[in-house]
Amino acid sequence: MNVRRYRAKDMSDAMRQVREHQGADAVILSSRRVDGMLEIVAALDNEDAAKGSASIRATPARSGGRPGSGASRFSGGRGQSPVDSDLEAMRRELSDLRHLLVQQNGASESAQWAARHPLAAELVAGLTECGFHEKLARSVAGGIPEETNIETAWSRVRARLSSALTTEQPDILERGGMLALVGPTGVGKTTTISRLAMRQIRRMGRDAISLVTLDRQRLGAYKQLQAFGQMAGVPVMLLESERELADLAVRSGEGRLVLVDTAGQSARDVAEQRLFAQIRSEIDLETWLVLAATHQGRILRQVLQAFQGSAPSALVLTKVDEAEQLGETLSVLLEQRLGLTFYSDGQGLGEHFHAVDTLYLTRLALRETPLLRTGSMRASAERAATRPLGSAPIADRLGPLDQGMILESVVPFRKSAHVGL
């Protein structure tokens, strides 16, 4: 923005000066009488002209003017351009005005688009209110004919979102092997390990599974897993290093599932190393990345990027029940290639751990369904919360649904931990 101030005896003379210095495209911003002279301020919105023009200076006062009246104020440095505080303030105001006009223009375009596509605008507004990104919302809502009734339109939006979510059905739970859960601190890796173990115990029996932890950092991490292992009757081992994990893989044998809990790490720390890089070529090791639905989209993206070095093959989503806007989480999941395999929506080990159901998650994100899907499930959970745990192994006591047992409430037994296979 090239702004200049001129003084002339009349408007004709002033316009001549403006055309000579700034050209015919200059705009008169203000004019006033000062000491019998006409003072005008003109601006030219042309970066090339602004670069090639001389420094801004005011025309000296003519006869009748007071000495120094309207003169530019110069900075004290040698060779520096003259500085006029009024013109600098005007520059800032013009810059703010330009940004405001750009914003208003964008808002005007959005309003015009909404006026032309009222149904799509309503769908986009509903999706963004649920946490979905506006760009994704426009993509999902696009292509739905305007004459479609609102119920049918939302049904199509729901179907599009549900079908677009990538899922994964790993076969390691069927064939056995070594499965490690990785992820940031506090996302629920240890609890997810216990939930997977319970699922396998029901399907394959306690002899087909072992629990391992490499987490020596978090206080009580091993105790928590040890408590579950003692109740379930499955071995739990605390290993010092990845090398010991490789040795264990040789001894575990065919068909046995070894679930490995790892220490939580920040995205910054894990990006500097590659978990299991030294032993991955020696053993058949699969990793799943555990994410919390409570994290902001920006944090989820950082985690997904940071844990790429761990080569995860699937995702587990936890704390779905605590997410304020599940749409923000699903937006991030829709941006990446890893498939979702399990999710949890509560603290119960069994009743709140599910194989992926994209339609239910989509309905939950759109706030179309309550968290508990059936009244019978709620009643079962309430009955389970009042039933005391017996002394039999957990694999023998649990039915089709978990009896509401919460891992965090289990007190470790005093007997020694299982250490063998």
Quick one: DSSP state of residue 352?
Answer: T
311-316 mean pLDDT? 93
At residue 331, the pLDDT reads: 95
Superfamily of domain 172-409: P-loop containing nucleotide triphosphate hydrolases (3.40.50.300)
Q: What is the DSSP string of 268-319?
A: HHHTTS-TTTTTTTTS-EEEEEEEETTS-HHHHHHHHHHGGGG---EEEEE-
Per-residue pLDDT band at 333 (split at 50, 70, 90)? very high
**First-to-last C-alpha distance (Å) of the chain:** 77
Give residues with Cβ within 8 angstroms of 192, minimum separation 6.
Answer: 181, 290, 316, 318, 342, 344, 353
Confidence grade of residue 270 (pLDDT, cut at 50, 70, 90): low
Closest residue by Cα to residue 5 from 44, 50, 42:
42
Higher pLDDT among residues 214 and 97, named by residue: 214
Query: Which has the minimum average pLDDT: 13-27, 90-104, 160-174?
Result: 90-104
Write down the pTM of the prediction. Answer: 0.63
Nearest of 114, 109, 165 to residue 141 by alpha carbon: 114
Name the residue with higher pLDDT: 361 or 390.
361
pLDDT mean over 211-232:
80
Most confident region among 25-39, 316-330, 336-350, 403-417 by mean pLDDT: 316-330
- Of 13, 37, 15, 12, nearest to 26 by C-alpha is 15
Residue 70: band (very low, low, confident or very high) from pLDDT cuts 50, 70, 90: very low
Task: Tell me whether strands 37-44 and 2-8 are parallel, antiparallel or unpaired.
Answer: antiparallel
Report the C-alpha gap between 368 and 129 in whole angstroms: 13
Please give the pLDDT value at position 380. 42
Token look-up 């810059």 returns: 95
Contact 143, 122 (CB under 8 A): no
Closest CA to 1 of 37, 33, 25: 25
Q: To the nearest whole number, what is the mean pLDDT of the chain?
A: 75
Vertex 356, ends 252 and 371: CA angle to 5°? 125
Q: Go through 88-100 and write b for each residue having 16 or more CB atoms within 10 A of its CB, e for each that does not.
A: eebbeeeeeeeee
Q: Say what the pLDDT of residue 274 is.
A: 65
pLDDT at 294: 94
Taking each continuous run of H as one helix and of E as one strand, the counts in the chain are: 16, 11
